[in-house]
A and B are shown apart, each in its own frame.
Chain A
Amino acid sequence: MTVSGEILDQHWLDSRARPFIHIRGVTKQFGGFTAVNNVDLDIYQGELFCLLGGSGCGKTTLLRMLAGFETPTSGVISIDGVDMNDVPPYERPVNMMFQSYALFPHMNVENNVAYGLKRDGLSKEEIRLRVGEMLAMVELSDFSKRKPHQLSGGQKQRVALARSLVKRPKVLLLDEPLGALDKRLREQTQFELMNIQDRLGVTFVVVTHDQEEAMTLSTRIAVMDAGQFVQVGTPTEIYEYPATRRVADFIGSINMFEGRVTENDADHVVVDSTDNALRFFMDHGASVSDGSRVWVAVRPEKIRLSRTPPPNEANQIEGVVQDIGYLGNVSIYRVRLESGMIVEVTVPNQTRPRDGKHAAGWEDRVFLDWEASSAILLTR
């Protein structure tokens, strides 16, 4: 891919790009409770944007404000340059796919999908054509006369998707779109969603509490907590360079060592751990002062596990295997350090176990180490 192509894809890096959804200073209060607290966000055309967070973090409220079901207590939301504050839901250029699907139980599949088009007063012929096209896309043409209660969960979900896409909205809002599906169907639907988004070029805003879903689907993720954004970035940025301990903890699993900065240079930082008598070495500078309290975070898959002491001295820990979780493709080792701390290590099972034994067995003494570039230095 060329450099310009990259910029075209990543609008948020292009200073000239005009955001499609523009959120400024938006606050929503319910009684005394602040669900969304003064957030700013720009979402660009063609993005697949994920709002990620635990329950009650305000992600759904923000989505409902985009749909028009809630009005912001203060702040501005504009879509495609139009201020949405006084626009009722039925006049907004957005459509929503509800978590419960909200299919009309008294209408068959065809009429459910046609509902929005009928409201636009399109001709019968046009409606028939577009509904047929949409049902073909979600592979439900044979089910057009069925009522929702005669469909499986996955089929309902596809009807809901067809119904929200058939009006060709500028923005599609998806509330926990894969929540009710089983794992296989989820994975399949994830990729279907990405394909559809790619093909139609619609801007997707997805609300989810599932970090895996957010990682696979999105171009960018906004991690929300207590009504505010903790970090906004690409899945790689969020995973490899989390801004805070909370984000690091929320996305994937991570090992965290508390410590103090003992050396701080432009090209490296050294941290002494508080309760492990360990020394960590990072090959990049950081804006921290000597002696300040920091956390060194390492992802389980970035750690090497060996039976013999590794050659490099830095970032080396010794411990005893306490638990092994065999997942087939990888094994998760829980290694107990002398201090009692448990470190999680993911080891790919590149070879079949010999004599029923994996890289290490229970109660084996093992050595852990990682690259100087692998650890993350967190200050909060």
Chain B
Amino acid sequence: MIIMKPTAVKSTGIQRYQQMFAGVSRLLQQLQAQWKSVVVTVPYFWMLLFFLAPFFIILKISVAESLIASPPFSDLLEWTRDGALSIRLSFENYSYLWKDDLYINTYLGSVKIAGISTLLCLLLGYPIAYAIVRSPPTTKNILLMLVILPFWTSFLLRVYAWMGLLADQGLINDLLIWAGIIDSPIRLLYSHFAVYVGIIYTYVPFMILPLYANMEKLDMTLHEAAADLGARPAVTFLTVTLPMTWPGIVAGSLLVFIPATGEFIIPDLLGGGNVQMIGRVLYNEFHSNHDWPVASAVAVALLVLLVLPMMVYQKVQEKESGSGW
């Protein structure tokens, strides 16, 4: 057998093109590899710059002391007179949150309002999502469009619209009086009711969309299989549909619960002074009291309050999926 040395071959025109082509494709491959890292890096850089950095600033302010100055808080690092660098940490703001009933009650109140709203969003959104999934394709697109449609108007405008609807001289009261159901306007605006209406109205699409995405993948023959094995429709729902849509329920609930807990505009505009939620307390500390350190501590505490249970849930899920699906 004769083995030819590759170097001994004189490159012809075609071979030159092939070599050129190989070079270009290698370059493209390298670019592609780099492109991948670019694609990953950019959003992380974004998050680092606009989320993590501000968070650390807030964290820093939360351990400072309030001063009547500009900025209205003490520095974290200070040069002492003898030239040494000293760090001043104050956890008083946090202990203050713990000592004052106002904060704990408002936190609990916010969690309660967000929790009930989430549950109501789920009760409302689940059947809607299910109906959308089960409808024929053309209707499906229209229905999905309708779910997204409110986002075409500013959130603030929509809340203002609710103020108009719920006011004493608003559309709902006028209608009820005209129909003879009530004699004098009932108090709708500036109440817990108004806040619930506002939150549920605003956040129900965030429940419907993840549920829809989850249910879309649901294999309908599983329902037939359950029926075939003797399960009535209600039993099929409890034993098959519900467990299989659980990831969608969790995703939707988180998307509603987290922003609802920290909600500021809805309790402010629709709840007035009657509904205290943590977002409003934070706003007041910052703008009315000018106590930036306490306001920052409120914000950090809120974050911890929301993130910790989520992390625990994530761990539990991981454990479950390790042994299951």
Residues of A participating in the B interface, judged by any CB pair closer than 8 Å:
67-69, 88-91, 94-96, 98, 100, 102-106, 115-116, 119-120, 147, 149, 163-164, 167
Contacts and interface: CB of A to CB of B under 8 A. Distances in A.
A102 B225 contact: yes
Report whether over half of chain B's contact residues are helix, strand or loop; otherwise say mixed.
helix
Nearest to B224: A69
A120 B227 contact: no
A67 B228 contact: yes
A67 B227 CA distance: 10
B306 interface: no
B325 A90 contact: no
Contact of B243 (A95, A102, A106, A167): A106
B240 to A, nearest CB: 6
Contact of B325 (A91, A95, A147): A147
Given A95-B229, A119-B229, A89 B224 contact: yes
Contacts of A94: 228
23 contacts: A69-B224, A88-B227, A89-B228, A90-B227, A90-B229, A90-B230, A90-B232, A94-B228, A95-B229, A96-B224, A98-B225, A100-B221, A102-B221, A104-B225, A104-B226, A105-B325, A115-B229, A115-B231, A119-B235, A147-B324, A147-B325, A163-B229, A164-B229
A61 to B, nearest CB: 14
Contacts of A167: 229-230
Interface residues of B, number: 19
Contacts of B228: 67-68, 89-90, 94-96, 164
B219 interface: yes
Contact of B229 (A68, A106, A116, A149): A116
A91 to B, nearest CB: 8
Interface centre among B226, B228, B244 (most CB of A within 10 A): B228
A165 to B, nearest CB: 11
A116 B221 contact: no
A149 B321 CA distance: 12
Given A90-B227, A106-B244, A98 B221 contact: yes
Contacts of A91: 230
A164 B229 CA distance: 7
